[in-house]
Amino acid sequence: MWKELKKNQLVKYGAVTTVSTISYVLLRKWIAGGICRSRTKLHGRTVVITGANTGIGKETAWDMAMRGARVIMACRDLTRGEAAATEIRSSTGNTNVVVQQLNLASLGSVRQFAREFIATETRLDILINNAGIMLCPKSFTVDGFESQFAVNHLGHFLLTNLLLDMLKASTPSRVVIVSSIAHQGGKIHYDDLNFDKKGYNSVIAYKQSKLANLLFSRELARRTKGTGVTSYSLHPGVIRTELWRHSQSKYPTLSSMLSAPAWLLMKTPREGAQTTIYCAVTEGLEDKSGYYFSDCQVKEPALEGRDDLAALRLWGVSAGLVGLN
């Protein structure tokens, strides 16, 4: 009787374990989202990726290198950038991976990068505006702008415009801008972009910058229609990367409690890079210029992300802030 009871318990335990394992695998597959299945090769093509030394930027650089591209890793920290580039060269066998300094918190650095790139490179096929900061304490760049808006939007806005002629000369070419689902509920605070008049909230500031990314891509697509340059924005997913470092320092106890579940409920950097890669290389996306993507498919953005007049206004304001005609 006792042996029979023990046998039944073992059977139940085995069944629970099996169901739990299958459920976990299915959950991880759902969290991972879409996968870029394009086999496009990029031999003879040049790709610039900002923030390419870590997270989804590094995974994107690895993928572009595997496809045979010349990869320019635009990084603020040259030491970390070179370490990442060395790893990518070694693992892919592609020696045409280089690091150039770019600090998006400095418009001067952005202009310097663009000058050097134009002087030394012959083409630009794909520009991936990937770098970003998130939920950081209130701070200002050397140019006097709120850091999240400056790094996530203004720096990339200036960089893209400075390299636009080279993109047009290398058509068909693409601009890929990493936005976020956080654009939902976002607002461009035109009368207080630096949050000087009202209290600073890192979440509201982040939402502003991510909405700006989406609107920038939308207006860029309108302005480049018919030129052979196309533009795409995307939500990469919720990913376990260094972007969370500020929230971890602000809420250490909560972060400690959530760290283990987070590994299960967040995408890995490689999984998070898939939609960026999809927008960069998938064939037949030319008629989707200006669209927003998530999990390797078109997704309708929030209402505020579909406002063409807001996109036009943001372009004009941004151009004035960075000193473009």
Query: What letter represents residue 138's amino acid?
Result: K
Contact (Cβ atoms closer than 8 angstroms) between residue 122 and residue 170: no
Length reported for the chain: 325
CA angle (34, 49, 82) in 5-degree steps: 115
SS3 annotation, the chain: CHHHHHHHHHHHHHHHHHHHHHHHHHHHHHHHCCCCCCCCCCCCCEEEEECCCCHHHHHHHHHHHHCCCEEEEEECCHHHHHHHHHHHHHHHCCCCEEEEECCCCCHHHHHHHHHHHHHHCCCCCEEEECCCCCCCCCCECCCCCEHHHHHHHHHHHHHHHHCHHHHHHCCCEEEEEECCHHHCCCCCCCCCCCCCCCCCCHHHHHHHHHHHHHHHHHHHHHHCCCCCEEEEEEECCCECCHHHHHHHHHCHHHHHHHHHHHHHHCECHHHHCHHHHHHHHCCCCHHHCCCEEECCEECCCCHHHHCHHHHHHHHHHHHHHHCCC
> Is-catalytic flag, 200?
no
Residue among 190, 206, 278, 291 flagged as catalytic: 206
Catalytic residues: 206
